[in-house]
Amino acid sequence: MGTQQVLAQAPAKINLALRVGPLRPDGYHDLATVYQAIDLHDQVRATLRSDPVVSVETVDRAGGPVAGVSDDHHHLAVLAAQSLRARGGVTAGVHLHVRKNIPVAAGLAGGSADAAAALLACMELWGLGLDRAELLGLAAELGSDVPFALAGETALGAGRGEQVRPLTTGMATTWLLISSAPGLATPSVYTQTDRMREGSAVLQPQPPHLPDDLLAAVRSGEVTRLGPLLHNDLQPAALHLRPGLANVLAAGRAAGSIAGLVSGSGPSVLLLVADDAHADAVAGAVTPVARAALNDVQLRTVHGPVAGARLVSRPSGSD
């Protein structure tokens, strides 16, 4: 075991479409989704420990603390390392240094990205030879979005989202991503969705499915065809829980974005734009509205699709 330190990164995800089936007796929902990985990454640096301990420290881009993530056994990178350690019969431990760029509880699956990056980093650090199928199986046990964080690019998601199938597309997308605080807890957005559906006459298809014209648009690579087909079944609940998000979506429409939607369980908002210059123009118009309607607003221009989790370097020894 010569390697002492390994650096890995994993991307945030967005859902170009997210269809949610009815509540299952086991408390889960079936999903049908089109995932896309975007160029917003968390990094995990794994350093070998000779004692059998998995420890973690999480910092933001400036090296400061990160609100909403506790450096304990609930941390998804720690859970990933522990499950891999048990699977591989590893006696050593690891220290995980997590640098978060992906906003927390934002509907961007940042925790899943950290889990995926930790899996790759620790596999390399501990010299484990899991094949891709074993790794994806472990990832699925850790969380519904973790297999996609490994796969990246553009993919179909089924089951709870953990069954991932790559989707071939020449489509490159540019988005204005508007994040705000506090985050929204994913379970509360699903519960609110169920509640709002109870009083509705609209029957939810079981299992949920994606419309053919959406898949054709994604395959075509034509962003303007995709715009009107973007869809998120969790959006009404997210808007109910955080009404200011509707102001941002309306401001995006008024500013000429191609389309807009809430990302996953929110509260991030995604405005589809033609290119970086278009993103800047839309940002100029949307920023004052977002700042008036929401707290701790940050705007970023992001692009998809990008590769899934990968090793960044394999240095041996220290920094």
- Residue 122 makes contact with ligand ATP by CB under 6 A: no
CB atoms within 10 A of CB 106: 24
- Residue 109 makes contact with ligand ATP by CB under 6 A: yes
**Is 145 a residue of the active site?**
yes
Instruction: Give the type of residue at 72.
Output: D
Question: How many CA atoms lie within 13 Å of 292's alpha carbon, on the beta-carbon side?
Answer: 9
C-alpha 278/C-alpha 269 separation (Å) is: 16
The residue whose two tokens read 């004052």 is 288
Query: Binding segment for ligand ATP among 16-24, 110-118, 164-172, 234-242 (CB under 6 A)?
Result: 110-118
Given candidates 112, 169, 232, 301, which one binds ligand ATP under the rule CB under 6 A? 112
Given candidates 24, 53, 67, 74, which one binds ligand ATP under the rule CB under 6 A? 74
317: left (phi over 0), alpha (psi -120 to 50) or beta: left
Q: One symbol per residue from 257 to 296: x for binding ligand ATP (CB under 6 A), - otherwise; what is it?
A: -------xx-------------------------------
- Residue 68 makes contact with ligand ATP by CB under 6 A: yes
Instruction: Please answer whether residues 36 and 13 qualify as being in contact, where contact means their C-beta atoms are separated by less than 8 angstroms.
Output: yes
- Of 6, 33, 8, the residue nearest 263 (C-alpha): 33
C-alpha 165/C-alpha 143 separation (Å) is: 16
**Is 233 a residue of the active site?**
no
Nearer to ligand ATP, 68 or 244 (CB): 68
Give least dist CB 288 to ligand ATP, A: 26
Give least dist CB 96 to ligand ATP, A: 9
Give least dist CB 162 to ligand ATP, A: 11
Instruction: Give the type of residue at 302.
Output: V
Q: Decide: helix, strand or coil at residue 254.
A: helix
Nearer to ligand ATP, 160 or 225 (CB): 160
Which two three-digit tokens encode residue 185?
């807890």
Packing angle between helix 276-293 and helix 244-254, nearest 10 degrees? Answer: 150
Cβ neighbours of residue 50 closer than 8 Å, sequence gap 6 or more:
92, 93
Q: One symbol per residue from 172 to 191: x for binding ligand ATP (CB under 6 A), - otherwise; what is it?
A: -----------x--x-----
- Residue 231 makes contact with ligand ATP by CB under 6 A: no
Query: Binding segment for ligand ATP among 71-79, 217-225, 295-303, 305-313 (CB under 6 A)?
Result: 71-79
- Of 179, 164, 69, 165, the residue nearest 114 (C-alpha): 69
Nearer to ligand ATP, 183 or 260 (CB): 183
Give least dist CB 105 to ligand ATP, A: 4
Tell me the site size for ligand ATP, rule CB under 6 A.
Answer: 21
Helix (H) or strand (E) holding 123: helix 110-125
42, 114, 145, 233: the catalytic one is: 145
Which residues in this chain contact ligand ATP in the complex, by CB under 6 A? 68-69, 74-77, 104-112, 114, 145, 183, 186, 264-265
